[in-house]
Chain A
Amino acid sequence: MGILLKGYSTHSKGEAGHSRALLFLGYLLFFSLIFPQPGLYSHVDHSKDQKGIGIDEKLGQIIPLDLTFQEETNHSVPLKKLIDRPTILALVYYSCPDVCSFLLHNLAGTLNQLPAEPGKEYGVVAISFDETEKPELAREKKKLYLSMIEKPFPEDAWRFLTGDQENIQKLADSVGFRFKREGKAFQHPVAIIILSPDGKVTRYLYGMEFLPFDMKMAILEASEGRVGPTISKVLRFCFSYDPKGRKYVFNTLKVAGIVTFVCGFAFILFLVFKSRRRHPEERSSE
C-alpha cells in the first residue's frame, strides 16, 4: 500500500519545481547508470505491498449462486434467480464519491450503444459491497442510471442489490475482488466482471470506460461459456484523493507527441519555402 500511495503522489505533484526535480533526476540517472546498485531495483514483488486491494482473476470459476441479496424492492433473492443469462456484474458502493459513479455512468452509456437486447441476451447486476447501504438508496440509483439509457430498457435487466457482510465477502472472494474499508469510504479496484449463464467468470473488463464492441464480444463469449483473455489491464484503484492521477503521464506523452509533429511540420515548411543553399559555381551555372 505504501508504495502504491507513493506512486500516486509522484504524479500529483505540482508543476512548480519540476525543472529542479528533473535536473536532480538527471544526476540520479547518470550516477545510477555508472554505478548500478542491485539493491535498488532487485527482484521485488510489489503485489504483496498492496495486499488489501486488487483483483485476483478467477477466470473459469463458478460463483456461489445460492448467496442471497436484497433487491431494490426489499425482497431477498438468490443470485441464481438473477443470473440465468450472460450477466455484467459491477461491484460498487452506491455512496461512492468518485469512481463508482463514473463506472456506472459509463456503463449506462455503453449499454445505450450495445447492439444486444437487454433482459434477453444479457442482464446487468450491480451489487454494493458496503453492507450498511439499504435498498432505498439502491432504488434511487436505479432510477438515476436507467434514466440515462435512452433506448427502451426493461427494469428487470439491471438490478441494484445490497446485502449483508457475509454474503458480500463470499461473492467478492469468489471473483477475487479485494477491497478495504477506510472510514466511511472504501479502497477498491475498478472493473466489471462478465458471468456466463451458469455463473462462470468469463472475463474481467478493467477501468471505467468500455467500448460497446468489447462488451458485445464479452457477452457473446459468456453466452457460450467461453473464458476470454483479460482486456486492457489498466487497474484503476479508487482513492479518496485523485483517482485519475495518472493523467499526468498521459499528458506528458500527448504533449511530447504533438511537439514532435509540430516540429516535423515546421521543418518540412522550412525546407520547402526557404530558398536552397547554392554552391557559388552552381549559381553561376544557372
Chain B
Amino acid sequence: MTEKILGEVQPAVPFYKSPERFGGMFGWIFSTDHKRIGILYLLSILFFFLTGVSLGFLMRLELLAPGPTLMKPQTYNALFTLHGVIMIFLFVIPGIPAIFGNFFLPIQIGARDVAFPRINLLSWWIYMAGALLALLSLFTGGGPIDTGWTFYVPYSLRTTVNVPLAVFGVFVLGFSSILTGINFVTTVHWLRAPGMTWFRLPLFVWSLYATAWVQILVTPVVGITLLLTLLERLVGVGVFDPAKGGDPILYQHLFWIYSHPAVYIMILPAMGVISEILPVFARRTIFGYKAIAFSSLAIASVGSLVWGHHMFVSGQSDLASLIFSFLTFLVAVPSAIKVFNWVATLYKGSIEVEPPLLFSLTFIFLFSIGGLTGLFQGALALDVHLHDTYWIVGHFHYVIFGGTGFAIFGALHYWLPKMFGRMYRKKISYLAWAVIFVGFNTLYFPMLILGWEGMPRRYYDYLAPFHTLQLISTIGSWILIAGLILMFVNLFYSIFKGERVGDNPWGGATLEWQIPSPPIRENFEKIPTVTRGPYDYGCS
C-alpha cells in the first residue's frame, strides 16, 4: 500500500512499553496515545459487557420455569432495565468506535494520532464518569431503576426508584459519544496521509466517519430529552406528563429521534469491520467499494428519519405511521446493498476460513435474519400483533448481538494479533465459535416463535404453553455463556502467552498491517505516502 514505510527497521518498542509521563497505572489512565486509550476502552467496555451478560443470565434463569423461581417481580424489572442500559449505553454504542476506532482509525489513514488526543482521553474519563453515575444509582435514592432502558414517561416520572441519577448518567455518557464523533470527523478530514484520498480510505474508516456524524447530530437530542425529564421530575415542569398538560408522545418522539439512529451507531461500524475482514480472507479487492461507502452514508441519513416506527401503536397519526413505515422499508435497501456486495466479494475469491472470517460470515447470516425480521415489524398491520412481544426481543438481539456482537468478536480475532503481536489458539477459536453460534440461536430463535405466539416482552412470568420454548431459550443462554468464556479465556491467554506472529499474519493490505506488531508509540517511523487503494492485492 505504501512505497516504503519501514526504511530501516529498528528494534520497535511496542506502544505499551514506550515511556509515558507517569508510570504504572497512571501511564494508562492519563495517556493521550490513541492506542492506550483504545485498550482502556477495551477493558472497560468488556467489563460492562460481562456485567450485562450476567444480568441477562439471571433473567433467563428466572424464566426457566413458570411462576416465581429466583427473585421478586421488582427485581426482575430492575434486571431487564439494567441489562438494557448497560448493554446499549455502555457496550454496543461505544463498542467498536471507541475500541477499534480509537486504535486503528489513525493508523489506517496514516496518522500519528487522532486530531485531538487530549479530548480523546477526556471522552474516556467522561465515559467512566457516566458509567459510575449509572452504577451509583443502583445503591442510592429509591434503588435500581425499573423503567426499561427507554425511560418512558409518565412511568419514569412517577416511579419511586432512583431514575434521576441513572438518567443523568446516560446524559453524561452522551458527551463522551459526541466528543469521540467530533474527534473522528476532524481526524478523517485533516490527518490523512499524503495520497490517502477519500476513495482510498479503508471502508472501516468510511463507516466510522458516517457514524461520527450521526453521533454529533443526534446525541444532543437525547441529551435535551433526558434533561427535560429531569426537570419535570425534580421541579415539576409539565412537558411530558399529560396530567400537567404535557405530552408523553412527545417524549417518545424525542427519545427515538436519538435512539433509532443510535441503532445505526451500533451497526454501521460493525459493517465497516466486516468490509475490512472479507477482502483479506477472500484475497481479492472488495466488490463495489463506492456502493458500500455511500450506503453507509445512506443508512446514516435515512436511518435518522425512521424513528416513528417504534410508535405505530403509541397513537401517533396514521399519516405519520404510513410515512415512517415507508422510510423503514427504504432503509433496508442500503443494508441489502452491503450484504450483496459482501457476498459478491467472496465470489471467486481464494477463501481462507480463519476465525475472523468465520465470525464475519456468521455476522452476515445472523444480521440477515435480524434485518428481515425487522421488515415484519415495519409493516403497519403486522406490527400491531408483534409490538412489545418476544419477537421484538428476538429481532433486536439478532441485529445487535448477532450483528454488532459478532463483528466485535470478529474484530478481536482479526486485530488482536496486531495489537499485541501474538496469536491465539485457532482450534480453540473454532470450537468457541461453534459453541457461541449454537448457543446464540438456541437462546434467541425461540424468542421469535414465542413472540409470534403472543408472549409479551418484559414479563416476569408466563403461561404454561410457553414453557417448552422458554426452557430451550434458557438452556441456550448456558451454551452461549460457555462459548463466551472459552473465547475470552483463549484471547486473554494469547495476549500474554500466545505464539509470536509477524507484522502481517493475515496478509492484509491496509496500512495497519505494514507497521510492526504491536505498533510503536506514534505508529509510523515516517508518515507513509499512499499510492493505491486499501484492498489492492495485485500490485504490492
Q: Which residues of B contact A46 (CB under 8 A)?
A: 241, 243-244
Does B69 lie at the interface of the complex (its beta carbon under 8 Å from any beta carbon of A)? no
User: From B257, which residue of chain A is reached at the shortest CB distance?
Assistant: A257
Question: Which A residues from 230 to 286 make CB contacts under 8 A with B?
Answer: 230-237, 245-246, 249, 253, 256-257, 260-261, 264, 267-268, 271-272, 276-277, 279, 281-282, 285-286
Report yes or no: A229 in contact with B236, Cβ–Cβ below 8 A: no
B189/A235 in contact, CB under 8 A: no
B230 adjacent to chain A (CB < 8 Å): yes
Whether, in the assembled complex, A18 has its beta carbon less than 8 Å from a beta carbon of chain B, the answer is no
Which residues of B lie under 8 Å from residue A148 when comparing CB positions? none
Q: Which residues of the other chain, A, contact B194 by a CB distance below 8 angstroms?
A: 282, 285-286
A127 to B249, CA, bound (A): 29
* Given A38-B141, A277-B190, A33-B164 contact (CB < 8 Å): yes
* B249 and A29 form a contact (CB under 8 A): no
Contact: B234 with A28, CB < 8 Å? yes
Whether A66 sits at the interface, judged by CB under 8 Å, is no
Q: Measured between alpha carbons, how far is A264 from B178 in the docked complex, in Å?
A: 12
Check if B318 is an interface residue, CB within 8 A of chain A: yes
Residue contact A231 to B217, C-beta cutoff 8 Å: no
Known: A41-B234, A43-B158, A272-B189. A36 touches B142 (CB 8 A): yes
Stretch of B80-88, B274-282, B309-317, B340-348 on the interface side: B309-317
Q: Is the CB of B505 closer than 8 A to any CB of chain A?
A: no
Interface flags, B213-232, vs A, CB<8A=1, else 0: 10011001100100010110
Instruction: Scan residues 199-241 of chain A and give those whose CB is less than 8 A from a CB of chain B.
Output: 211, 213-214, 217, 229-237
Is the pair A264, B190 in contact by a Cβ cutoff of 8 Å? no
The answer, yes or no, to whether A73 is at the interface (CB within 8 Å) is: no
Assembly CA distance A190 to B219 (angstroms): 34
A232 and B315: CB pair below 8 A? yes
Q: How far is the CB of A217 from chain B (nearest CB, A)?
A: 5
Whether, in the assembled complex, B471 has its beta carbon less than 8 Å from a beta carbon of chain A, the answer is: no
Q: How far is the CB of A252 from chain B (nearest CB, A)?
A: 8
Residue pair A213, B237 in contact (C-beta under 8 Å): no
In whole angstroms, what is the CA distance A278 to B25 when docked? 32
B18 CB to nearest A CB, Å: 18
A184 at the interface (CB under 8 A from B): no
Tell me how far the C-beta of A235 lies from the nearest C-beta in chain B, rounded to whole angstroms. 5
B245 in complex: contacting residue of A8, A211, A261, A279, CB < 8 Å: A8
A residues within 8 A CB of B192? 276
Q: Are B221 and A232 in contact (CB under 8 A)?
A: no
Q: Complex Cα distance A41/B157, Å?
A: 8
Q: B156-176, CB under 8 A of A: which get 1 and which 0?
A: 011110101100100000000
Query: Are B318's CB and A217's CB within 8 A?
Result: yes
Contact B236 A3 (CB under 8 A): yes
- Which chain A residue has the least Cβ–Cβ distance from B159? A43
Given the known A-B contacts A211-B319, A271-B186, are A10 and B237 also in contact in the complex, defined by CB atoms under 8 Å? yes
Taking CB atoms, residues of chain A closer than 8 Å to B140 are 36
Closest approach, in angstroms, between the C-beta of A26 and any C-beta of chain B?
A: 11
Minimum Cβ distance to chain B for residue A17 (Å)? 15
Give the interface centre of B216, B236, B249, B527 by most chain A CB atoms within 10 Å.
B236
A231 touches B317 (CB 8 A): yes
CB atoms of B248 and A233 under 8 A apart: yes
Nearest-neighbor residue (CB-CB) of A277 within chain B: B190
- Knowing A36-B162, A282-B527, say if A47 contacts B243 (CB, 8 Å): yes
Q: How far is the CA of A286 from the CA of B191 in the complex (A)?
A: 14
| 8 Å CB contact of A256 from B220, B246, B319 | B220
Chain A minimum-CB-distance residue to B526:
A281
Contact B142 A38 (CB under 8 A): yes
State whether A276 touches B168 (Cβ < 8 A). Answer: no
Q: Judge whether B217 and A7 touch: CB under 8 Å.
A: no
Per-residue A-contact encoding for B250-287, CB less than 8 Å = 1, 0 else = 10001000000000000000000000000000000000
Asked if A16 is an interface residue, CB under 8 A from chain B, the answer is no
Interface of chain B residues 106 through 134 with chain A (CB within 8 A): 112, 115
Contact check: which of B158, B189, B234, B238 meets A10 at CB < 8 Å? B238
Task: Establish whether residues B239 and A211, one from each chain, have CB atoms under 8 Å apart when the complex forms.
Answer: no
Judge whether A7 and B244 touch: CB under 8 Å.
Answer: yes
Q: Are A246 and B245 in contact (CB under 8 A)?
A: yes
Roughly how many angstroms separate A42 CA and B318 CA in the complex, as a whole number?
Answer: 35
- Contact: A213 with B317, CB < 8 Å? yes
A7–B236 CA distance with the chains assembled, in angstroms: 7
Chain A hits for B313, CB < 8 A: 229
Task: Verify if A49 is at the interface (C-beta below 8 Å from B).
Answer: yes
Which residues of B299-340 are within 8 A (CB) of A? 313, 315-319, 322
Contact of B235 among A28, A257, A279, A282 (CB under 8 A): A28
Are A33 and B191 CB-contacts (below 8 A) given A46-B241, A232-B317, A260-B220?
A: no
CB proximity of B189 to chain A, nearest CB, Å: 4
Docked CA distance A32–B507 (Å):
57
Residues of chain A from 1 to 39 with CB closer than 8 A to chain B in the complex: 3-4, 6-8, 10, 25, 28-29, 32-33, 36, 38
Q: Complex: how many Å from CA A41 to CA B160? A: 7
The docked-state distance in angstroms from the alpha carbon of A200 to that of B191 is 68
Mark interface residues in B366-401 (1 if CB within 8 Å of A CB, else 0).
000000000000000000000000000000000000
Distance in angstroms from B270 CB to nearest chain A CB is: 24
- Tell me how far the C-beta of B218 lies from the nearest C-beta in chain A, rounded to whole angstroms: 9
* Chain A proximity of B112: nearest CB distance (Å): 7
**Contact, CB under 8 Å: B165 / A233:** no
The docked-state distance in angstroms from the alpha carbon of A217 to that of B315 is: 13
Q: Give bound CA distance, A246 to B242, whole Å.
A: 12
- Confirm or deny: B247 has a beta carbon within 8 angstroms of a beta carbon on chain A: yes
Give the docked Cα–Cα distance between A232 and B234 (Å).
26
Docked-complex contact B162 and A279, CB < 8 angstroms: no
- In this assembly, does B467 line the interface, its C-beta being within 8 Å of a C-beta of chain A? no
User: At the interface, yes or no: A50 with Cβ under 8 Å from chain B?
Assistant: yes
The one of B186, B239, B529 in contact with A285, judged by C-beta atoms closer than 8 angstroms, is: B529
Residue of A nearest to B322 (CB): A213
**How many angstroms from the CA of A102 to the CA of B529 in the assembled complex?**
67
A7/B164 in contact, CB under 8 A: no
B residues near A33, Cβ cutoff 8 Å: 164-165, 168
Contact of B254 among A4, A253, A281 (CB under 8 A): A253
Interfacial residues, chain A to chain B (CB-CB below 8 A)? 3-4, 6-8, 10, 25, 28-29, 32-33, 36, 38, 40-47, 49-50, 211, 213-214, 217, 229-237, 245-246, 249, 253, 256-257, 260-261, 264, 267-268, 271-272, 276-277, 279, 281-282, 285-286
List 23 interface pairs A-B (beta carbons < 8 Å), by A numbering.
A3-B236, A4-B244, A8-B238, A28-B235, A29-B230, A33-B164, A38-B160, A40-B234, A50-B243, A211-B319, A217-B318, A229-B315, A232-B317, A233-B248, A246-B239, A253-B254, A267-B182, A267-B185, A271-B190, A276-B189, A276-B191, A279-B112, A282-B194
When A and B form their complex, which 7 residue pairs have the shortest distance between CB atoms, in order from nearest? A46-B243, A7-B238, A36-B141, A7-B244, A271-B189, A213-B319, A276-B190
- Contacts A41-B234, A277-B190 known; list 19 others, CB within 8 Å: A3-B236, A7-B246, A8-B238, A25-B231, A28-B234, A36-B142, A41-B233, A47-B243, A50-B243, A214-B318, A217-B318, A232-B247, A234-B247, A260-B217, A261-B217, A267-B182, A271-B190, A276-B191, A281-B526
